[in-house]
Amino acid sequence: MIEPQHVYTVSELNRSAREILEARFGDLWVKGEISDLKRAPSGHLYFTMKDESGELAAVRFRSRSALLADADVEPGTVVLAFGKLTIYEPRGRYQFIATLIQPVRAGALRAAFERLKRTLQEEGLFSPDHKVPIPSFPERIGVITSPSGAAIRDVISILERRWPSVAVVLFPSSVQGEAAPEALRDAVDRAVRFSRQVAPLDTLIIGRGGGSAEDLAAFNDEGLARAIFDCPIPVLSAVGHEVDFSIADFVADRRAPTPSVAAELAVPNRSEVVARLGDDASRMTRAVGSALRARRTALRSQLRGYLFRVPQRRLETLEQRLDLQLSGTIRGITDVWNARRRAARRAEEVLRLSNPDLPLKRGYSLTFVSGSPRPLRDANSVAGGDTIETRLAVGRLTSRVEEVNPG
C-alpha cells in the first residue's frame, strides 16, 4: 500500500524555497549591468542585473540605500551589488535584494560623464548658437597635445602636406592621468595669452590618440569644458578614435574623430585650391565672352532692321564703331583675366617653391631636436647627449649629439 505524500500549498512551497535559497547563499556580491530601471513612488528601485548570457531581477529598498544616491544608478552602469538572494513569496518571484551598490571603475566614469553632460547641456554649453566656424585659410594654428605622442607628428605631417605656409605652435600638455585636466586647462590659457600677446591663432586643435575610457577621462573634465567654451579661438576637438566621444567634443566649435582628421579639417588642400582658381577663371572668361558675342549679334540684328531708314554709309560707320568698341571691350576683359591667370600661376609657383620637400629632393635635409616642431638652425640650441631627428627626402634619421662646435 502506497503511503500518501505531503501535498504543498503554493504558499508553503514558496516559503520553503525562500528559506532554502537564503540559507544556501547568504550574503553575497553580484556584478552586472543595470537595465530596465524603474523608480517607484515609494523610493524603491526595481531593476535587472545582466551579463552576456543571463539576467537577474533585483530591488533596492529605500531604507537600505544610504550609501548611493539615485543619480548614480543609471541604465548601462556596470555595478557591484551586495545583498542576498530570496523569493518574493506572494508571486514566487526569484530576486536579489541589494543593500549596497557600487559602480565599477568604467561604470563610475560613464555615470559621471552622463551627469556632467546633462548639466552642461542644460546650461547651453553645447548649443550651436555659441559655436563659430573654423577659418578656411588659417595662417597660424595652435595644437594642445602631448609633445611625445603620435598625434602631434600626424598633425604636423598632414598640415605640411596640405598647406605648407601655415605656422604650427605647440602648447605641450599631459593628456592622461590625474594631473592631465589641470595641465590641459593651463595649455588653453597659454594658447589664449599667446594669441593675444604674441601672434594671433586662427584655430586651436586639442586632443590625443585613442585609449581606454580611463585614458581619455581628462577630456571629460568640467573645468576644461568651461575653458574651451570661453576660449576666443575657434576650437577643434580631436580625442581618441571615431567611436570615442568626450565632453570636450561636445563643447568645442567642431569635433574631429581623430587628430589626423582634425588637421585635414583645419586647412584646405593646396593643389585643390589652385585647381579651383584656374577653373573659376576659365569659366568666367567663357561666360563673359559668350555674353558679349550674344549682345553683338543682337545689336547687329537691330541695325539691319533699320537698313531702309538709315543711309548706307551711316550704317557702315556705326557697324565699324560697334566692332571697334566690342573688340576693345573683349580685349580689355581678356587682358584682365590673363593678368589674373598669371597672378594665379605666380601664386601656384610661390606655393610650389614654399614646399619644404623641394630642398630635401635636392639633397638638403632638415634637423629637429627630438619633440620640437621647429627646424634646428643654431648649434647652440643643442647640447651633447641630445637626441636629434634628421628629415631627408625619403625617411628620417635619429641621432645622438656627441660634440657641439658653435659656428
pLDDT at 49: 92
pLDDT at 3: 58
Task: Report if residue 115 sits inside a domain.
Answer: no
Task: Report if residue 132 sits inside a domain.
Answer: no
pLDDT at 126: 95
Residues 165-174 have pLDDT tens digits of 999 999 999 9
Q: Are residues 14 and 89 both part of a single domain?
A: yes
Q: Are residues 174 and 244 both part of a single domain?
A: yes
Q: Are residues 277 and 259 both part of a single domain?
A: no
Residues in the chain: 407
Task: Report if residue 120 sits inside a domain.
Answer: no
Task: Report if residue 129 sits inside a domain.
Answer: no
Task: Report if residue 118 sits inside a domain.
Answer: no
Q: Are residues 313 and 375 both part of a single domain?
A: no
Q: Are residues 262 and 366 both part of a single domain?
A: no
**All 3 cell numbers of residue 283?**
569659366
Q: Are residues 157 and 202 both part of a single domain?
A: yes
pLDDT at 381: 78
Residues 366, 124: Cα–Cα separation, whole Å: 47
Q: Are residues 308 and 391 both part of a single domain?
A: no
pLDDT at 1: 46
Q: Are residues 168 and 213 both part of a single domain?
A: yes
pLDDT at 108: 65
Task: Report if residue 83 sits inside a domain.
Answer: yes
Q: Are residues 250 and 324 both part of a single domain?
A: no
Task: Report if residue 156 sits inside a domain.
Answer: yes
pLDDT at 315: 62
Low-confidence stretches of the chain (pLDDT beneath 70): 1-4, 64-72, 105-108, 303-319, 352-358, 360, 407
Q: Are residues 297 and 366 both part of a single domain?
A: no
Residues 24, 401: Cα–Cα separation, whole Å: 71
Domain that holds residue 279: 271-353
In 3D space, the residue among 56, 96, 47, 39 whose CA is nearest the CA of residue 75 turns out to be 47
Number of Cα atoms under 13 Å in the Cβ half of residue 12: 4
Q: Are residues 67 and 20 both part of a single domain?
A: yes
Last residue of a domain, one of 268, 302, 319: 268
Query: Can you tell me which residue has the cell 628629415?
Result: 391
Query: Can you tell me which residue has the cell 595652435?
Result: 142
Number of structural domains in the chain: 4
pLDDT at 122: 94
Task: Report if residue 124 sits inside a domain.
Answer: no
54: left (phi over 0), alpha (psi -120 to 50) or beta: beta
Q: Are residues 145 and 213 both part of a single domain?
A: yes
